[in-house]
Chains A and B, each alone.
Chain A
Amino acid sequence: MTTETLRRDWILLRRDWILHRRALLPAALIFATFQVYFVIVANHPTLWLVLTCIYMSFLTVIPLNRDGKFRALAWSCTLPVTRADLARGHYVTAWTLAAGLFLVALALAAFVPGTKLSAAMFLNPNRLLLAAGITAFILALLLPFTIRFGLIGILLVLVVLQIVGAVTFVVAETTGSMDIVEGRVGAAFRALADGAAELPEILSIPVFLLALVLVNWASYKIAVALFRRRDL
């Protein structure tokens, strides 16, 4: 990584902060308010961790969605940076936001009166790695798609998922195989969750970290390839 690359990442991060702080600060405030409630009612640390990571991961695409909303992406591409720089800038911003929000959530878990959680619960390597894993996985899926298709694309995916769910439900109901479908889908989700939770234990920490880096690197490469094909 060259000094020039780091300089570009920094000015892109700075640019995102300058242009999007008016939206990010209220979103962070709502996140923190929800966390005050959530750390009190949550009695299972892993469940808290998973849902917090999902919530904060979706907040990290706020800058990208605002670029799309104002149709300012073309302007970004006229700045003296490449599309690869811009895509990488979005990853840097997303990870910085995720890290910041996670620290806020940890602080609230530690200090909110009445919480059954504590920061110490999450300072063990396995839970930190699980948090990093969930965040990396969601960002790796979310960012390339948002960079290429914007907010509309995300909405489209959600609509398609709803349709797939509805069709599955109708087919299962009409063929009388609802119990089988429920059982299989439930089993798949449980296996996925257990697998994710046990992954840091199964793999050694360096291998797990390397896997996270590789997932993000592959996601970034896909994002760049998609972004380069986007006409603005």
Chain B
Amino acid sequence: MEYALEIESVGKHYKGFTLNGVSLRLPRGYVMGLIGPNGAGKTTLIKLIMNLVRRDGGAIRVFGLDNLANEAAIKSRIGFVPDEPRFHEDATLEVLASAVAPFYAEWDDRRFRTLAGEFDLPLGKKFKKLSHGTKTKFALALALSHGAELVLLDEPTTGLDPVFRRRLLDMLAGLLQDERVSVLFSSHITADLERTADFVTFLLDGRVVFSNPMDQLAERWAVVKGGREMLDADARAFLEGVRIRPHGFEGLTSRIDDARRRFGNGFVIERASLDDIMVLYGREGAKHDD
């Protein structure tokens, strides 16, 4: 299989945070969602791919090429939308686009203007006058105007209104009509990912909990619900995370068949959503859950 992105045992150490041995693979023509709570390492991982921060170890290959040794060639094939787009604030969007365009051999000015129209971008307005959502739309228009084969989106739906959020997701689905294009999309809004992603990678405290095809999640993860009195040490051993509520508990398990045998009657076992996994994984049912 041909991969758009391969990350092997990548690490990055900051004071107070370590991204530890992260590995994942994104096949060409697919969308991968990167989920995790704030501070899990999603933005750091995307910055590592873009070489905005230096990695401490491991390897990152984009289209089979090392991302450091072939930096310029790789970046010309990547469309990148950061979580907080920052451009020269006293420049208009028109000026910013004219500064960016010559860097890309495949720059398509007609496409940029079409997208600007679709996104209602005020091209004559200065960047500093824009809302966060419009800044993101501008970054998105730039990212999609040079024939990018890998689109990296860091929390792109944050700050967008629901109507545009849906349009963005439809647009991502549309991008995949071109089988060359792959998308890595970080978000903590799991509903966005459930709608679009083919693969999901879950990051927690700087390490990968899982990186799987979306359809395998339903087979692998389940939520167990029951009364608080039923949550003994034996039951906890089956759970990867648990939240205790006033009238019962919710636990996450990846041992669905064993759990069915163990818990049986009196418990409800249902398919886990991405939200359930993100909220419950690693949680130990502390008192504040009550």
Contact = CB atoms under 8 A, between A and B. Distances in A.
Interface of A: 8, 11, 14-15, 18-20, 22-23, 66-67, 70-72, 74-75, 77-83, 85, 228-229, 231-232
A71 B86 contact: yes
26 contacts: A11-B103, A15-B99, A15-B100, A18-B91, A18-B99, A19-B88, A19-B96, A20-B88, A70-B88, A72-B87, A74-B52, A77-B52, A78-B80, A79-B75, A79-B100, A80-B73, A80-B74, A80-B103, A81-B75, A82-B71, A83-B51, A85-B72, A231-B53, A231-B54, A232-B47, A232-B52
Contacts of A85: 72
Nearest to B44: A231
A14 B52 contact: no
B47 A80 contact: no
Contacts of A82: 71-72
A8 to B, nearest CB: 8
B71 A70 contact: no
A75 B96 CA distance: 11
Interface string B46-76: 0100111110000000000000000111111
B103 A79 contact: yes
Interface residues of B, number: 29
Nearest to A17: B99
B95 interface: yes
Contacts of A232: 47, 52-53
Interface in B74-101: 74-76, 80, 82, 85-91, 95-96, 98-100
A31 to B, nearest CB: 20
Interface of A is mostly: helix
Given A77-B52, A82-B71, A229-B54, A18 B95 contact: yes
B86 A70 contact: yes
B174 interface: no
A49 to B, nearest CB: 34
A17 to B, nearest CB: 9
Interface of B: 47, 50-54, 71-76, 80, 82, 85-91, 95-96, 98-100, 102-104
Nearest to B74: A80
Contacts of B75: 78-81
Contacts of A231: 47, 52-54
Given A80-B74, A85-B72, 9 more contacts: A8-B72, A14-B102, A22-B91, A72-B88, A74-B52, A77-B50, A78-B75, A79-B75, A83-B71
B54 to A, nearest CB: 6
Given A15-B99, A232-B47, A80 B72 contact: yes
Contacts of A18: 91, 95, 98-99
Contacts of A71: 86
A210 to B, nearest CB: 30
Given A19-B95, A72-B87, A77 B76 contact: no
Name which of B85, B90, B98 has the most chain A CB atoms within 10 A of its CB: B90
Contacts of A229: 54
Contacts of A77: 50-52
Contact of B87 (A11, A70, A83): A70
A97 to B, nearest CB: 17
A62 to B, nearest CB: 12
B50 to A, nearest CB: 6
A8 B103 CA distance: 8
A77 B74 CA distance: 12
A231 B15 CA distance: 13
B246 to A, nearest CB: 45
Contacts of A79: 75, 100, 103
Name which of B73, B96, B102 has the most chain A CB atoms within 10 A of its CB: B102
